[in-house]
A and B are shown apart, each in its own frame.
Chain A
Amino acid sequence: MPAFVVAAVVGALFFLGYRYYSTYLAAKVYALDGAYRTPAHEFNDGVDFVPTNKHVLFGHHFTSVAGAAPIVGPAIAVFWGWGPALTWIVLGTIFAAGVHDFGSLAVSVRHKAKSIGTLAGDVINGRARMLFLAIIFFLLTLVNAVFAVVIGNLFVAQPGAVIPIVAEIPLAIAIGVYIYRTRSSALIPSIVGVIVLYALILVGNAYPITLDGLADALGVEQTRNVWVVLLFVYTWVASRIPVWVLLQPRDYINSHQLFIALGVIGLGLIIGLNQIQAPVVNDVPEGSPSFFPFLFITIACGAISGFHSLVASGTTSKQLDKETDARYVGYMGAVGEGSLATGAVLAATAGVAASQAEWEALYPDFATASGGAVGNFVAGTAQFANNIGIPLELAGVFAAVVVISFAATTMDTGVRLQRYVIQEIGELVKVRALARNLTVATTLAVVIPLAMALIPGEGEAGYTFGVLWQLFGTTNQLTAGLALSVIAVWVTRRGRNPVAVLVPLAFLLVMTTWALILNLRNFVEDEQWVLAPLDAIIFVLALWLMVEAGLALRAAFRDRGTVAPTEGGEPDAVALANPETGTSDRPLGGPSGNDRR
């Protein structure tokens, strides 16, 4: 089947989802009110809280949620065939991610734009804050570990990408310092930066850099691991320098690259008329993980990602001009991410191979499929770039540079965020060195994912990456589960029908716990004594989340009988009775606040 036909059908389904389902959510589930005074107006300070044009805000939100993660998961998941992968992306985006991203924004806006971590504490009790911290800690640890492995693998597979990627660091610093000193527009310098970066692809291609010699000298079996260590040394330094020096100018360069990559994929698809070579449903070898439940944790970002609730409730909700804008910003953000994931599926099924036999050679078993997934995406994107006239060899380096740029920026930010989480935990457990000492917090933020990334696997395209990725997907889904629990409690307390939220919540919790149990059994059988305890800890967190969500929902249903449904525009009885609660329309702990204690 021509890939562009599939892309058009998916686009049409996303359009229908936005047009009809998000309208239903806005009217019947979240009961949005155009006249509601949002926190951006209530606490308007021109810094964090600023009423912002919805198109401007969408730009901020989308670039904050769209990155490398929706590429990796789908590129692995096509192992089960493009049918299951694409079905989950489409249904997940429309019925789970849209509900989750839009709902996180809606509930935060109704509660002084508080972040989902704080809201979880309000819904349940102090334990929920610790639960949230634990889930986020593992999420960030696994993000940093998997992206280090992704970059390491790509440096080994595409040594031509090393020079441009390394040169991007001083290039970004030069742009940052130039903008800071001259206070001029970032547009021209960052476009020049992208041009220089792509020009360096020619240099990188002519002088590929490998660390095989260094790995041999150090006695390291896998060259990838040398790259992984170097990457964590880099992020230790990068995460400690001011954002405007390196991270922000890298972001300027990346924002151009995001649109260039999307343009190349779209244009290449249309011009090349590539056919999908993967089977609709792949007859996977015996002993492979089954697509129930593993597909649903392999594709997290791109179908539903808890990370989006952190963005939606952390910064986006503070800038929402009208409550009704939440539909456009939140739901469309999810659709944008789903579109990226669709592009990844098409690259890994249509661009990467010219025949089904060729494709099957790339996806013979789950270990090879997961280890080679990013490389397959890169090869597929390179083919699309080749369709528009870029020589294949250079196109491969170009695609690798795009993926590595995103993954490296994610690592920069991930280590920085992990430092905040460690400092937060330090405050909670009253360990001053963790809370106050940047060096200690940053070192911990780097050492733990480094250890994860270096877990012995089965070769460069190892088994370990696939399971690490699944554990990352699991923690991401648990974060989404926590956010959906908060949304479900809020919707229930408002007297609205929570089914639209409860269905994805139940589905996610069943899939994640099912996968965790199966993986735990496998890890114990394979004597994976690092992964088994990690899986067990995440399993305990999942159970904890289920118990807390169940208790909070039971309390919400109990209180539900005492309040009338909230309509859009209708003054809320609880808010009127509690003017000091500001923008909160109904305390999340219930009218009595019992379940907060």
Chain B
Amino acid sequence: MNPRVVLVRGTRTAGGASAGCCGGDVRPFDEGGSHRHGPPDDAVGAVYRALRAALPAEVAVEVVSPSNWLWLVPELVRGGRRRGLRGAALRRSVRSGMAVESLIVDGAVLGSGRLPAPAAAVAAVEAELLLQEGAGSPPGRAGEPQVG
């Protein structure tokens, strides 16, 4: 299975959802004139671009809304269990991974609540991927964010 890095969007760019028909996440125009209503850039965009530039193509980098728990929770639980986490440690890991601006590599939560600078994020992800590749064992303390 190819490695997967997940970035959880920040509070300002998480986007509206669930307003539904007829009020969902809509931007009727591309230009927006003097009243641009697209989401502003935030730390996630910068970290994403740095990761995408630094990592090989086979490493998937996903940007996910913090409200998308239907996808995020199983991803974090699966990743945590693969890394040997159980019980309270697994719960802590899932909770920290669900926070806004989280950085997750194959279920390992490297940053939670605030993303590191792009260069630090790239270094942390590369180190995590190297560790996984080399040892095949989970690095760091179980369930605790390691940077940020």
A is bound by B: yes
Which listed residue, B18, B23, B33, B99, touches A255 by the CB 8 Å rule? B18
Indicate whether B125 reaches chain A with its CB closer than 8 angstroms.
no
State the main secondary structure of chain B at its contact with A: loop
Contacts of B24 in A (CB 8 A): 63-65, 67, 307, 311, 413
B35 engages A46 (CB within 8 Å): no
Bound-complex Cα distance A59 to B44 (A): 20
| A46-B47, A248-B16 known; A183-B11 Cβ under 8 A | yes
| A53-B60, A65-B24, A244-B14 known; A46-B95 Cβ under 8 A | no
Contacts of A424 in B (CB 8 A): 28-29, 33, 35
Contacts of B101 in A (CB 8 A): 183
A56 engages B12 (CB within 8 Å): no
Which listed residue, B18, B26, B31, touches A63 by the CB 8 Å rule? B18
Name which residue of chain A comes closest to B46, CB basis.
Answer: A46
Chain B, interface size: which category? 35 or more
Q: Ordered nearest first, which 7 A-B pairs have the shortest CB separation?
A: A67-B20, A46-B48, A64-B24, A185-B98, A410-B23, A413-B23, A183-B113
Bound-complex Cα distance A436 to B33 (A): 10
Contacts of B63 in A (CB 8 A): 46, 50, 52
Which listed residue, B21, B33, B49, B70, touches A65 by the CB 8 Å rule? B21
User: Interface code A386-414, partner B: CB below 8 Å = 1, 0 otherwise?
Assistant: 00000000000000000000100111111
User: Interface code A44-80, partner B: CB below 8 Å = 1, 0 otherwise?
Assistant: 1111101011011001100111111110000000000
A307 engages B26 (CB within 8 Å): yes
For the A-B complex with A68-B20, A185-B96, A310-B28 known, give 10 more contacts whose Cβ atoms are closer than 8 Å: A46-B44, A47-B38, A66-B18, A67-B20, A184-B95, A186-B67, A307-B21, A406-B20, A410-B23, A424-B28
Name which residue of chain B comes closest to A302, CB basis.
Answer: B21
Bound-complex Cα distance A424 to B36 (A): 10
Residues of B within 8 A of A (CB): 7, 11-35, 37-39, 41-42, 44-49, 52, 60, 62-71, 73, 95-101, 113-114
Contacts of A406 in B (CB 8 A): 18-20
Indicate whether A545 reaches chain B with its CB closer than 8 angstroms.
no
Chain A, interface size: which category? 35 or more
| A46-B46, A185-B66, A244-B11 known; A64-B29 Cβ under 8 A | no
Contacts of A310 in B (CB 8 A): 26-28
Name which residue of chain A comes closest to B96, CB basis.
Answer: A185
B99 engages A183 (CB within 8 Å): yes
A–B pairs, 20, beta carbons within 8 Å: A47-B45, A47-B48, A52-B63, A63-B24, A64-B20, A66-B20, A67-B22, A67-B24, A68-B20, A114-B30, A115-B29, A183-B100, A185-B95, A248-B16, A254-B19, A301-B21, A307-B26, A315-B27, A414-B22, A420-B37
